[in-house]
A and B are shown apart, each in its own frame.
Chain A
Amino acid sequence: MSDTHKDPQGHEMLAAPGRSRMALDRFITFGAVVVMFAVFSITAKNFFTMRNVLSLALQTSTTTLMGIGVTFTIITAGIDLSIGSVVALTGTVAVMAAIAGVPIWISWLIGVLVGVVCGLTNGLLITRLKLPPFIATLGMTFVVRGVALTITNANAWPAPDRFGALGNNTIFRTGNQFPGIPYPVLVMIAVAFLFHFVLKKTRIGRYTYAIGSNEEAARLSGIKVNRIKIISYVICAALAGLVGIILASRMVTSQPNSAIGYELNAIASAVIGGTSLMGGVGTVGGTVIGSFIIGILTVGLTMQGTNYFMQQIVIGLVVIGAVAFDQLRNK
Chain B
Amino acid sequence: MPGNSQGPATTTVDVNGFPCRVWTKGSGPKLGFLAGLGGLPRWLPFLDRLAETRTVIVPSLPGYPGGLGHTELDTHLDWVLAVRQLIDKTGLAGADLAGASVGGAFAAEMAAIFPGHVRRLALIAPFGLFDDKEPAADPWAQRKEVLPGLMCASGEKWTALVAPPEGANSVEWPIEMTRAAEAAARAFWPLGDTGLRKRLGLIASPTLIVWGDRDALLPSSYAQKFATAINGASRVEIIAGAGHLAYLDQPETVARAVLGHFG
Q: Do A and B come from one complex?
A: no
- Residues of B whose CB lies within 8 Å of any CB of A are none
